[in-house]
Chain A
Amino acid sequence: MTDTSAIAPGLKKDVLLKIRDLKIEGFTGETWVPIIKGVDLTLHRGEVMGLIGESGAGKSTIGAAAMGYARDGTRISDGSIEFDGIELTTSTEGEKRALRGARIAYVAQSAAASFNPSHKLIDQYTEAPLQYRIQKRLEAQEDAIELYERLRLPNPGEIGFRYPHQVSGGQLQRAMTAMAMSCRPDLIIFDEPTTALDVTTQIEVLAAIRDIVDQFNTAAIYITHDLAVVAQMADTIKVLLKGEEVEEASTEVMLKSPKEDYTKSLWAVRSFERPQKPRPENATPLISVQNVDASYTGGDKVLDDVSFDIYEGMTVAVVGESGSGKSTTARCITGLLPPSSGQILFKGEPLPPKYTDRSKDQLRQSQMIYQMADTALNPKVRISEIIGRPAQFYSGLKGTALKSRVDELLDLIELEPSKYYDRFPPELSGGQKQRIGIARALAAEPTFIICDEVTSALDQLVAEGILRLLDRLQKELNLAYMFITHDLATVRAIADEVVVMQHGKVVEQGPKTEMFKPPHHPYTDLLLSSVPEMDPNWLTTLLEERGVDNVGEAADV
């Protein structure tokens, strides 16, 4: 798709979607504020356009607007949206509905949440064709099975008759792409279709989407915040910032010579890297996980003989796909989930397996920072109390001593105390909330912090800020980090040592420089090679190397 010559020149001229001076407003509870401030967009038949930008840039809102759809709490206030000669802003609901599913289809970010849990996949597939009387049920089912096969889903004849929860995330995302294709639409909106997936799964979905869009010459708007992904998928790229267009150019031009400073800053995001530290000599590890097995009540083993050490002041990155046992290991270390065998040592002393049996001093040593700062902070509690409570609980601070400690902590995380002391979490941005999460962990004066995917819900620039902050705190306070992540770019930036986990086992571990140099364990190799690169030909090359049938789940090692 990056090869623009593949699109016939005649088709290229044919404009499918023309958005002019689009303005969308959102309701804040009191007033309507502008979200999209006058965006133009022209999409030709068979063209794939990538929309990129940070969260809040208005990518998804524009994607929905291309279907004439305004999400609850938003309204299209001005501008025109012309789809194949039909003006959507003045069309009736009925006219717009007739286009949706039939001529413009939508693929959502989380297929797991966007499939109705109560209906079989194939019944959800056939809904639109039946609704528009394009096909009879059986025909539509046969068609679905054919598309499932083209999208390389396993057991295409049978998989559609399962319920969404019986199918894996990557398969669901492909089934959703098939569903979008059911009426052979002219345009598909892909709204971050691979963001929720593991890197290894992402590849198969990317390859499948690219193939199917090529085969049917469907035009697409591909929304993502991942530049490397959009480089694989799009013919042209449009960069958005806070509801306004920054610039638009063909993928190749955009990657090689972006004009605007903002675009350049996006490209330069992965620059932060701190030097790797060696293990201290003759030291006892701060945390030592020894031969830990664990399982949830009555279930199969989730952890199988997991062992690794974390030394003072060092960062150990634990990587692996979802379900590999990374977070379960963290739960064992903190005592939330007592291991079924094995033990956790702290400075050589075994820790009681259950957190209720640990002393206050043992508890304060290891703190956690969570992925979703949104849900990890109580929205009804003031910042001062969120941070103050652990300081009070562990250190017994009161009154002015407590207040000055909270101020000190806010200073540490680079938020001005006088401004933030009395505020509530919903008043803060995502990055600021994550900083509050960090301050809360620091309030206990720990020596060891578990960071569970702390940057994966954040935009790249904000995430970078968090990584720099964590690095500074580590230097100042001599903290050890266990950094759980599936993002290898983060690992490269911050880790000293790497532990690779798969199916509850540690498959490989060692210093970062060694881990990123071949030879690797085959699974590490798969993980590393699956991380998208900026090169627009990366996916094509990778698929050639691996063979199309050998990506994702098929490439299980």
Chain B
Amino acid sequence: MGDIASLIFKRLGYGLITLLVISIIIFFMVELLPGDIAQAVLGQGATEENLAALREEMGLNKPAVVRYLEWLSGAVVGNFGESIVTGERVSSVITERFINTLFLAAYAAVIAVPFAITLGVIVALLRNTVFDRVANVLTLTSISSPEFFLGYILILYLSVKAQMFPAIASLSADMTFLELLHRTFLPALTLVLVVTAHMMRMTRAAIINLLASPYIEMARLKGTPPWKVIVKHALPNAWAPIINVVALNLAYLITGVVLVEVVFVYPGIGQSLVDAVSKRDFPVVQACCLIFAATFILLNLAADVGAILTNPRLRHPK
């Protein structure tokens, strides 16, 4: 197991380096955006003196490298500076919203991952039957429809017509957990529809890919029933590719929710990012991007480790 621990540390190290590179890219990309921050803050009517004073105050006159290092050293301890627009601390604005996004992602994942994998196993078992084809067509349809479209369809049928769920997923502090689940059900369902197809198809492909293996034939020739051949003999060896796709989709649930949040007016981090971009609130944009990058890196790391842990050769060395 010592090997695995050192491997995880190594991957973590690589992850940190990647994050550092990304932080440089994010910072300087934002620098390259046209427009003057001071001008944006003070508006067209500002005088030259006011602008100069603000630039001095915000440290905009210092060289970019110095400002990057200051920003980075703050970011490391969770201090992303203050929002240009509201003057609030970026971290306090973002934290709550990020937690909301995480909640929605977790809600969708808890439904989507088991559903997708189970469905994948079932279509692998019933491969090339009508059920397999129908499941493929439906999931493909859902993955190829734009999320906002799916969202509006769900609103139309489940909210406007059937009146089962609210169309707007606004949150308030005094909600019970059940109320919360009820109110955020439609955005979560939209996300489930978007990510299921990918995971299901990978599960199906990974299992079917193994069905030609000699040990699967051996299991069949031992009289093992077909469902057990899939669940007991194929699935345990198919985890590595499945985990990778699951991780990618989990990352998407966090970083790709902008549209869904807008459709359902859900106060998540995606909304903050959109607002911040339109208002040229650069500290918020940078913080959001960095959080998204970190999420991607962490989930990919988790996928790597997961793939290693499901490999018996690595779990049980000679």
Contacts and interface: CB of A to CB of B under 8 A. Distances in A.
B316 A99 contact: no
A349 interface: no
Contacts of B236: 116, 118-119
A128 B316 CA distance: 25
A108 B237 contact: no
A106 B223 contact: no
A100 interface: yes
Contacts, number: 77
A118 B224 contact: no
A165 B218 contact: no
Nearest to A99: B223
Given A117-B237, A165-B318, A71 B217 contact: yes
A378 B78 CA distance: 54
Interface in A47-79: 64, 67, 69, 71-72
Contacts of A354: none
Interface string A75-107: 000000000000000000000011111100110
B162 interface: no
A114 interface: yes
A163 interface: yes
Given A113-B215, A116-B237, A69 B222 contact: no
- By size class, the interface of chain A is 20 to 34
Given A98-B223, A99-B223, A128-B223, A115 B218 contact: yes
B219 interface: yes
A117 B215 contact: yes
Contact of B212 (A72, A99, A163): A72
Given A101-B223, A118-B236, A128-B222, A163 B316 contact: yes
Contacts of B223: 97-102, 128, 131-132
A110 interface: yes
Interface in A143-199: 162-163, 165-166, 179
A181 B163 CA distance: 63
A102 B222 CA distance: 8
Contact of A108 (B218, B225, B312): B218
Contacts of A106: 218, 221-222
A110 B214 contact: yes
Interface in B220-271: 220-225, 232-233, 236-237
B209 to A, nearest CB: 13
B62 interface: no
Given A117-B312, A117-B313, A101 B222 contact: yes
B109 to A, nearest CB: 25
A110 B215 CA distance: 10
B222 A118 contact: no
A40 interface: no
B213 interface: yes
A132 B223 CA distance: 9
Q: Which of B214, B223, B232, B236: most chain A Cβ within 10 A?
A: B223
A116 B219 contact: yes
B224 to A, nearest CB: 7
B214 A163 contact: no
B121 to A, nearest CB: 15
A108 B313 CA distance: 22
A190 to B, nearest CB: 12
B157 to A, nearest CB: 42
Interface string B195-227: 000000000000000001111011111111100
A132 B316 CA distance: 30
Contacts of A115: 215, 218
Contacts of B313: 117, 163, 165
A108 B232 CA distance: 20
B318 A166 contact: yes
A115 B213 CA distance: 10
Nearest to A69: B221
Contacts of A114: 214-215, 217-218
A146 to B, nearest CB: 20
Nearest to A123: B232
A128 B233 CA distance: 13
A176 to B, nearest CB: 8
Most buried by A among B222, B233, B236, B313: B222
Contacts of A128: 222-224
A127 interface: yes
A115 B216 CA distance: 9
Interface in A122-145: 127-128, 131-132
B255 to A, nearest CB: 33
> Interface centre among A100, A102, A114, by most B CB within 10 Å?
A114
Contacts of B225: 97, 131
Given A117-B313, A166-B316, A67 B221 contact: yes
A4 B237 CA distance: 45
Contact of B214 (A67, A100, A108): A108
A69 B220 contact: yes
B316 A108 contact: no
B217 A100 contact: no
Interface in A180-223: none
Contacts of A64: 221
A314 B181 CA distance: 80
Contacts of A72: 212
Nearest to B218: A114
Contacts of A117: 215, 237, 312-313
Contacts of B237: 116-118
Contacts of B312: 117-118, 163, 165
A269 to B, nearest CB: 28
B126 to A, nearest CB: 15
Nearest to B310: A118
Contacts of B218: 106, 108, 114-116
Given A118-B237, A118-B312, A166-B318, A100 B215 contact: no
A400 to B, nearest CB: 44
Contacts of A97: 223-225
A548 B222 CA distance: 30
A121 to B, nearest CB: 12
Nearest to A189: B221
Contacts of A166: 316, 318
A113 B217 CA distance: 10
A113 B222 contact: no
8 contacts: A100-B222, A118-B237, A118-B312, A131-B223, A131-B225, A163-B313, A166-B316, A179-B222
Which 4 pairs across A and B sit closest by C-beta, in order of nearness? A101-B223, A118-B236, A101-B222, A100-B223
Given A98-B223, A128-B223, 5 more contacts: A72-B212, A99-B223, A114-B218, A115-B218, A179-B222
